[in-house]
Amino acid sequence: MGKAVALKAPRRGGGTRKARKAPKAPSPERKYFWYLGGMVLLALLVRTFLLQGFRMPSHSMEDSLLLGEWVLVEKISFGPAVPFTAMRLPALDQPAPGDLLVFEYPADPRRIYLKRCIALAGQQVEIRDKVVLVDGVRLPEAALAKHADPRVFPASKLPRDNMAPRRVPAGQLFVMGDNRDYSRDSRSWGFLPQELVLGRALCVYWSCAPGGQVDFSALGALPAALFTQVRSLPDRIRWGRLGTFVR
């Protein structure tokens, strides 16, 4: 008798099994691209919904905020707008008197302003000889607010120093600059719709005094002008104001 031969069962799928190839590692260039894209996306999300920088373009908030200072603004509290839609995220808080608010200027939403919230919807605002009264009570001035012009105008000429009582409508705010005599605010252009508020100012993260204008039309003098700007930068930085919280 012959020897018994063990029969091998055929492999499923037929044929011989091919060796699997190890996955190809991504190239350094592709890794760099994904890291960079992720950082850009994260920065856009933070800027849109959480924090954004704002530069003071005028003297209207002196001496609380100075010309040329960059302020960090938190946006999440008041429900930031969702880009390319009419939707807003749910608000976590509401503006309060004393808040430094960054908002779109009602007459031109492309322009961004920063003013102090003085009164809320339902409250009454009145000004008597530069004294602000809210619901008949004198409003305590901000610590660094100031009056730089000794003149006092009657209400018939200018609402800056004297203003008849005004009741803030629903959904609106009354805002003013801390440099009371040199600020265009709710006294001149009216109430601020609350939906135009972008956020609340938190702190100064950069402060540098202006270094004069550079004439870009004079190409021959441009290198010297730029050198002067750079050389004077350490003296123009307001070192003591960096990182200060606004109030």
Q: Which residues neighbour 245 within 8 Å (Cβ) at sequence distance 6 or greater?
A: 202, 203
Residue type, 94: Q
Contacts for 48-53 with beta carbons within 8 Å, 24 or more apart? 48/75, 48/80, 48/83, 49/75, 49/76, 49/80, 49/89, 50/74, 50/75, 50/76, 51/75, 52/198, 52/199, 53/205
Continuous segment of H or E residues that includes residue 142: none
| Sheet (strand 137-138) strand order | 137-138, 131-134, 124-128, 163-167
Catalytic, out of 64, 75, 115, 207: 115
Residue 29's CB: how many other CB atoms inside 10 A? 7
Instruction: Judge contact between 142 and 108, C-beta under 8 A.
Output: no
Q: Is 24 considered catalytic here?
A: no
Listing DSSP states for 28-82 in one string gives HHHHHHHHHHHHHHHHHHHHHHTEEEEE--SSTTTTTS-TT-EEEEE-GGG-PBP
- Tell me the CB-side half-sphere exposure of residue 29, using CA atoms within 13 A: 0
Instruction: Kindly report the backbone phi and psi dihedral angles of residue 20, in degrees, each rounded to the nearest multiple of 5, phi listed first.
Output: -80, 140
60 is annotated as an active-site residue: yes
Name the active-site residue from 60, 183, 186, 207.
60
Show which residues are catalytic: 60, 115
